[in-house]
């Protein structure tokens, strides 16, 4: 099987430092201390690709950090078809890589990035029947062209036997940073069909008033505890019940009746956490996808999660729409610890058992 791989090395860099994305914000992300996320996720994908013993893979990559480095680190000797023009990679580099893969007659284009990268790949593949598959590395991952995790992407790439057309969507990051989410259809792509593929992001519906009131009451009745309140409309209703206007797509920190950090970065969250056992992170899965960690909330890093108890909240309608929950924290060991059956709060008092897979 001939697979072309392109990596967007800056994808997801802005997440943990509170930028909600990296479009136009690379310099600011670096100034805030952001570190690349995509190369490590590419390495995990390549290592699984290498370990798929039955897979006869001929690998084509783009040079440097856009694929070659991670592939060689995993033990591959790939065919390098070109590379970026400058040290700072661009969308044009991604498109040129994909066009080169098509000319080389690859059977699949595998990319590492977020929705913006997916849109660039889909645009370059327009008019072809070459399938594309994403290894998620961005802050926002709304499109249905991604595998659930880097490891799943490698498995899907080497085992799929049919494809279907799926939507590629993206959102304006400037609007996103202001709390407005307006997904825009950017294309329709040919994508492998597999169990380990995520669905597209859907906006949840239904009332969460009783749920939010119950969670807020419990928070008020827990003096001395620090509550890390995740993004989204469901947890946003909890913030409103507590009497403050939270950051709708950011993470806020609450303790003893006060907001101690608004739209906090990973570092700010860690700085405000109390002793172990006295911290709770409140999160709601993404509607339509079921991700609890790893989509839209990279500020909730493995270091943050390990110091907190986890409270998952969701409306019944949202849970009915996802079936199961997912985690993708960038830490496979933590992902394994989080998997299994868990209680999700669905009302003032009611809870439902859900499986994290």
Phi, psi dihedral angles at 162 (to 5 degrees): -155, 165
Q: Does 181 lie in the same domain as 244? A: no
Q: Does 134 lie in the same domain as 246? A: no
Name the residue with tokens 């008019």: 127
275 is a domain residue: yes
197 is a domain residue: no
104 is a domain residue: yes
Instruction: Kindly tell me the burial class for residue 52, based on how many C-beta atoms sit within 10 Å of its own C-beta (0-12, 13-18, 19 or more).
Output: middle
pLDDT in tens, the chain (357 residues): 999 999 999 876 655 545 545 555 556 555 666 567 888 999 999 999 998 755 688 999 999 999 999 999 999 999 999 999 887 888 999 999 999 999 999 999 999 998 889 999 999 999 999 999 999 987 667 788 999 899 999 999 999 999 998 888 876 555 554 555 556 778 889 999 887 676 655 433 335 888 999 999 999 999 999 999 999 999 999 999 999 999 988 999 999 999 999 999 999 999 999 998 999 999 999 888 899 999 889 999 999 999 999 999 999 888 888 889 999 999 999 999 999 999 999 988 788 889 999
Q: Does 226 lie in the same domain as 186? A: no
Regarding beta strands 252-255 and 258-261, do their DSSP bridges make them parallel or antiparallel, or are they unpaired? antiparallel
Contacts of 180 (CB under 8 A, 6+ apart): none
Q: Does 321 lie in the same domain as 218? A: yes
248 is a domain residue: yes
Q: Does 169 lie in the same domain as 282? A: no
Q: Does 267 lie in the same domain as 168? A: no
The whole domain housing 17 covers 2-192
- Residue-wise pLDDT tens digits, 126-155: 999 999 999 998 766 778 899 989 999 999
Domain final position from 192, 219, 244: 192
Per the CB < 8 A criterion, the answer to whether 260 and 254 are in contact is yes
Domain final position from 162, 192, 222: 192
203 is a domain residue: no
What is the spatial distance between Cα 132 and Cα 142, in angstroms, rounded to a whole number? Answer: 15
48 is a domain residue: yes
Q: 66 is written with which tokens? A: 């856009």
Domain final position from 192, 227, 246: 192
286 is a domain residue: yes
Q: Does 125 lie in the same domain as 228? A: no
Domain count along the chain? 2
Per the CB < 8 A criterion, the answer to whether 63 and 28 are in contact is no
What is the spatial distance between Cα 109 and Cα 106, in angstroms, rounded to a whole number? Answer: 7
Q: Does 336 lie in the same domain as 236? A: yes
Name the residue with tokens 């001395």: 224
CA distances from 244 to 14, 165, 257, 260 (A): 25, 43, 10, 12
pTM score, whole prediction: 0.65
200 is a domain residue: no
CATH number at residue 112: 3.40.50
Per the CB < 8 A criterion, the answer to whether 49 and 158 are in contact is yes
Q: Does 155 lie in the same domain as 9? A: yes
Q: Does 216 lie in the same domain as 182? A: no
Q: Does 188 lie in the same domain as 214? A: no
What is the spatial distance between Cα 296 and Cα 252, in angstroms, rounded to a whole number? Answer: 14
Q: Does 187 lie in the same domain as 214? A: no
Q: 223 is written with which tokens? A: 């003096």
Rg over CA atoms, the chain: 20
């Amino acid at each position: 099987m001939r697979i072309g791989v392109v990596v967007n090395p800056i994808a997801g860099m802005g997440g943990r430092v509170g930028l909600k994305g990296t479009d136009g914000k690379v310099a600011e992300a670096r100034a805030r201390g952001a570190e690349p996320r995509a190369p490590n996720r590419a390495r995990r994908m390549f290592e699984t690709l290498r370990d798929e013993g039955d897979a006869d893979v001929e690998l084509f990559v783009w040079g440097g950090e856009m694929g070659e480095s991670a592939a060689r680190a995993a033990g591959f000797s790939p065919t390098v078809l070109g590379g970026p023009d400058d040290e700072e990679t661009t969308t044009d580099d991604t498109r040129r890589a994909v066009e080169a893969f098509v000319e080389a007659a690859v059977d699949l284009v595998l990319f590492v990035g977020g929705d913006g990268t997916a849109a660039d790949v889909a645009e370059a593949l327009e008019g072809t029947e070459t399938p594309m598959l994403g290894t998620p590395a961005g802050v926002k991952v709304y499109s249905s062209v991604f595998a659930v995790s880097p490891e799943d992407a490698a498995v899907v790439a080497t085992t799929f036997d049919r494809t279907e057309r799926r939507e590629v969507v993206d959102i304006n990051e400037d609007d996103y940073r202001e709390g407005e989410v307006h997904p825009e259809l950017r294309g329709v792509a040919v994508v492998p069909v597999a169990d380990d593929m995520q669905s597209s992001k859907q906006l949840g519906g239904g009332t969460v008033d009783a749920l939010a009131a119950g969670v807020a009451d419990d928070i008020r009745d827990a003096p001395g505890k620090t509550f890390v309140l995740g993004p989204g409309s469901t947890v946003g209703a909890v913030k409103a019940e507590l009497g403050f206007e939270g950051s709708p797509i950011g993470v806020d920190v609450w303790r003893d009746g006060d907001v101690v950090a608004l739209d906090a970065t990973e570092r700010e969250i860690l700085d405000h956490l109390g002793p172990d056992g006295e911290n709770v992170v409140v999160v709601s899965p993404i509607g339509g996808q079921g991700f609890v960690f790893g989509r839209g909330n990279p500020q909730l890093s493995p270091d943050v999660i390990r110091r907190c108890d986890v409270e998952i909240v969701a409306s019944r309608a949202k849970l009915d729409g996802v079936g199961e929950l997912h985690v993708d924290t960038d830490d496979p060991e933590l992902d394994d610890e989080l998997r299994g059956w868990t209680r999700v709060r669905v009302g003032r008092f009611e809870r439902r058992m859900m499986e994290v897979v």
